[in-house]
Amino acid sequence: MRTIRAAASAAAFLLCTFAANAGVLVPIPPVPGSTSMGAAGINDLNQIAGTFGTSDNLYHGFVGDLNGNYVTFDASAGGTSVHALNNNGYVTGGAFDNPDDFVGKAFVRKPNGAIKLITKDGSAFDGYGDGITNKAVFVGSIYQFADSRISDLLYELGYYGKGHAYQADLVLPFNTYQTRPRGINRYGEVIGYYTDVDHAVNGSYPTSGFVLKNGVATRVVYPDPNAFYVFLNGLNDKGKIVGAWLHVDQTPQHAFVYDFERNRFKLIDVPGETRVTASGINNSGVVTVSAGGKAYIYCPKKKTCPIQSPSAIEVPERWISAAGYPRTVPCKNGCKGPFHPSRTQLDPAAVREAITRDPEIQRELRLPFRP
């Protein structure tokens, strides 16, 4: 009997431990009249911002609270893609002149609703605004190409900005023609991903994540041989990072929280969905998740989740450790430019093939939430 009681007690303890360590996934109310929706940024006030689609095949921005009290906006008549949000209510993203354009003009939306195109040397540029701090310091991407069609894409450059203006190129010490900074925190740490020219597989270039911290650039890969594309999308001031990895055949896609200091990943699954991404994380560890045209937040602990719902889904805590950091390289001048295309060794045919297959070009950048 003692053995049976001991076993029962142990089982109960394990159950309690599991429940205590489990997080929850909570659906977010859709924007009224939307046909699809994705959450991008989340701030420390638990306000969110993102993109939603409508039946006319246009995409619009929204910002609001977790109860569905949203303000919607259009950065341009051709469509809007929202990427980030800070505590003061500033939103970044891309504004499209034409619904068929691959990429639009980078913008910042002020808390009063005013839209400011991000400028370089006084002119707006093709690209995106991304992660933004409370002091309106942000990162993003600049595109250099003949027009806004995939076949004419040449390079994608990272940059630092402030207010609504470009400040400096962000140049990785890796061999790449596409650099996509996606997040920055108050300490100037930057995360994102890049096309990894040095690790081609069967003539195709994978996507690797990167972390810039203390003057060092670290390449980040997910510990699975099928993880051909690794996207780091957001980080908080505590150094926690969110993103996703995509299978070599471009399905499925798995969202995760990344603990850089311990080099380990925690998966965030959405039952029934095979294309899941995590885009933003605040300082309480609450994460924005998008899957199947729907938006969620993930809370690492149910009891501290800022919103409760009978539709909440318990997510077991599953950490997966990586063997080590595959590459770390010191940056020059904080990884600031200028970028020199001649220093990037490329096979033109491989570049064109990679651009055509690149899931970020097809899906993630234009419509980050779309399955």
> Would strands 80-85 and 207-213 be described as parallel, antiparallel, or unpaired?
unpaired
* 66-90 pLDDT tens trace: 999 999 999 999 999 999 999 999 9
Residue 145: the pLDDT is 58
Contacts by 88-93, CB closer than 8 A, 24 or more apart: 88/134, 88/136, 89/47, 89/63, 90/132, 90/136, 91/41, 91/49, 91/61, 91/63, 92/128, 92/129, 92/130, 92/131, 92/132, 92/138, 92/140, 93/40, 93/51, 93/61, 93/128, 93/129
What is the band of 337 on the pLDDT scale with cuts at 50, 70, 90? confident
- Residue 362: is its pLDDT beyond 60? no
Looking at the chain, the whole-number percentage of residues with pLDDT higher than 90 is 70
For range 295-313, the mean pLDDT: 95
CATH 3.40.640.10 fits 23-364, yes or no: no
Q: Is 344 or 163 the better-scoring residue by pLDDT?
A: 163
Q: Is 365 or 255 the better-scoring residue by pLDDT?
A: 255
Find out whether the peptide bond into 310 is cis, omega within 30 degrees of 0: no
* 227-243 pLDDT tens trace: 999 999 999 999 999 99
* 148-170 pLDDT tens trace: 444 444 678 899 999 999 999 99
Q: Where are the domains of the chain?
A: 23-364
Find out whether the peptide bond into 371 is cis, omega within 30 degrees of 0: no
* 242-260 pLDDT tens trace: 999 999 888 899 999 999 9
* 99-129 pLDDT tens trace: 777 678 999 999 999 999 999 999 999 899 9
